[in-house]
Amino acid sequence: MTKERAPEAIMTTHPMDDHINTGTHPASHGPPRAPKGAFGDFLRVIKSHRSSLIVVAVLSIAATVFGVAQPLMMQRMIDAAGQGDATRWVWWLVGVTVAEALLRGAQSFLLQRTGEAFIGGLRHSLIARVLTLPMRSYTTTPKGEWISRLGSDTGQVRSIVTSGLFELISAVLMFGAAIVLMVALDPLLFALTLTGVLLGAMGITIMGARMRRTSEITQAEVANMTSAADRALSSVTLVRASSATQDQIAKVTDYAQRAQASGVRMARIQAWVQPIMSLCIQGAFLVVLAVGGLRVADGAMTVGELLAFIMYLFLLVMPVTQAMGAYTQIQLGLASYDRIRQVLATDGERTGGTQYVHQIANSRGAAVILNGVHFRYDDQTVLQDVTFAVPTGSTTAIVGPSGSGKSTVLSMLEGFIEPDGGTVHCLGHDLREVNLDTYRRAVAYVEQGAPAMGGTLADNLRIVKPDATEHDMRQALVAVGLEDLTLRQDAGLNMELGDNGSVLSGGERQRLAWARVLLQDPELLLFDEPTASVDANTEGMLGEALEKVSRGRTTIIVAHRLATVVQADQIVVMDRGAVLDVGTHHELVQRCTLYREFATHQLLV
């Protein structure tokens, strides 16, 4: 069996997953520390767009040629003006200027389009990886981390292509061409100019390294702030009811202030870059004017040559300024790219395995068999030697105190986690060998609280059956007693449910989850606390709906309220990760002390 490296659809779109190494899960705090060689890795990835990039490079070279030709045209025009024959050079100057503008426009469009295509593929790969990580990842890393990487980080990486790498290459080409022509015009003036430019370049290089380190810290602080805000908004009712609003405001504000402080440090570094460069360049310009004027007076240069040299000085300055900005964008982009690589280098959920096919129950007549199952979470034992079987078509309840491992068993049966020891067979397949995607189509899992997705009522139903018709959906709603839901608004099945189904009550969300079960028509049902968040009256109605949904299907229910499971075919009692006893309600009341205590406390005996 293998861990998921990248969905096949992604590999044709974006090649990053072809060569990334297995990494560790991204840290939740502090600046990211990605594998070394981010720039080299970026270049290997961007090669998938090499055809477009080659065209951009050709356009850039051609535009540079026309750009550096303009001062020569100007020199010829000025020198010819003294002889009254400058018209021809005026038209040459106009021609090369227009040609450069057109080439720059075409280059910019193609570069922006290539950048969008690259980032589209990167986002596709990142979304696919985030949504296929092991389930444990979503409990150890705040959602704000994923949102930050999908949003701000990918935007920063885009700038490497659109305003970083090729602007740097274009600047180098222009810089090189200007140097050659300045040397040809006057070597002495060039030597004086080069001194100022080199001093500025040294300052920029030193500042660039500091900018990258500061950018890493800034991105991490923004992610922390986003996570804190997400936690507060997700629990806004609890926060408000607990009079903790000001505390949460203070916590989020603290993270915001840290991000602000980091941003100010970045601004402080960037504030030094421009003055250093400007001082060096302006000094060189003044020297050129002074020395050049003397050389024109001595007859060593013509006026046209001096003006051409000054124009080349500007062409030398512009690429340096452009390179400075491009280098900054590359540094910021690479810091974000490091963070994205950490996610893409994390192993996804296991893929591959034997395709699930419906099989006749085994010789024991069991749809589910757990045999000697052990599981540890970090250093804590969660399940130890768990053994029991679930007959095909029966209803089995799992009860026990909080922390006894009940929900862990369901997570294992759904394939979210794998046992450290022992075996788990479901519907005739060893879960370590079956293809999880095809297996889950035969299993319906209703988690505690039955959260609904944002979107419409139809969206929430079609998530399990994309081709469900309106008739199919209405039948499922009627079966669980939700037929009136579509009458609340004129939108019917297109009514918006709000964030996490906020317009629905707890009981309605539960029945909506069961309507999905009916649409899916699975072989195995897994319910985690199906009536935990409803009152006694609603519990009775849900009990009837639950019976309809589970009729004729193998059903496993985790429950604290025994009233909903006393009629189960068998009840598994768990405590501290182990199975204490298995039997019917009446059998367990007689022989299992823990179960009898539960039943007595809930007035069932």
Q: Is the pLDDT of residue 17 over 70?
A: no
Q: Which residues of 163-192 are buried (b: 16+ CB within 10 A; e: fewer)?
A: bbbbbbbbbebbbebbbebbeebbeebbeb
Write down the pLDDT at residue 246: 86
Residue 92 CA to residue 74 CA, distance in Å, equals 9
Residue 573 CA to residue 596 CA, distance in Å, equals 11
How far from 221 is each of 228, 232, 428, 546, CA to CA, in Å? 11, 17, 49, 46
Write down the pLDDT at residue 542: 65
For residue 286, give the 3-state DSSP assignment. helix
For residue 130, give the 3-state DSSP assignment. helix
Residue 290 CA to residue 284 CA, distance in Å, equals 10
Q: What is the pLDDT of residues 52-90, one digit of tens each?
A: 888 988 998 898 888 888 888 888 888 777 676 778 888
Residue 401 CA to residue 91 CA, distance in Å, equals 90
Q: Is the pLDDT of residue 140 over 60?
A: yes
Q: What is the mean pLDDT of residues 190-200?
A: 76
Question: What angle separates helix 187-234 from helix 303-344, to the nearest 10 degrees?
Answer: 30
Residue 161 CA to residue 486 CA, distance in Å, equals 49
Query: Hey, which residues does 395 pair with through a beta bridge?
Result: 555
**Better pLDDT: 14 or 338:** 338
Q: What is the mean pLDDT of residues 268-283?
A: 75
Write down the pLDDT at residue 189: 85
Task: Please measure the distance between the N-terminal and C-terminal CA atoms of the chain and give it in whole angstroms.
Answer: 49
Write down the pLDDT at residue 540: 66
- Residue 423 DSSP one-character state: E
Query: Hey, which residues does 581 pair with through a beta bridge?
Result: 573
Percent of the chain with pLDDT over 90: 22
Write down the pLDDT at residue 595: 94
The answer to whether 170 touches 60, Cβ cutoff 8 Å, is: yes
Write the DSSP string, 492-546: GGG-B--GGGTTS-HHHHHHHHHHHHHHH--SEEEEESTTTTS-HHHHHHHHHHH
β-bridge pairing 429-430 and 421-426: antiparallel
Write down the pLDDT at residue 177: 86
β-bridge pairing 443-446 and 524-528: parallel
- Binned at pLDDT 50, 70 and 90, residue 9 comes out as very low
- Least confident span in 201-205, 511-515, 553-557, 596-600: 201-205
Write down the pLDDT at residue 536: 62
- Least confident span in 171-185, 262-276, 407-421, 587-601: 262-276
Backbone angles phi, psi at 372, to 5 degrees: 60, 40
Cβ-Cβ contacts under 8 Å for 516 (sequence gap 6 or more): 444, 460, 461, 463, 464, 476
Q: Is the pLDDT of residue 119 over 70?
A: yes
The answer to whether 100 touches 61, Cβ cutoff 8 Å, is: no
- Binned at pLDDT 50, 70 and 90, residue 371 comes out as very high
Q: Is the pLDDT of residue 392 over 80?
A: yes
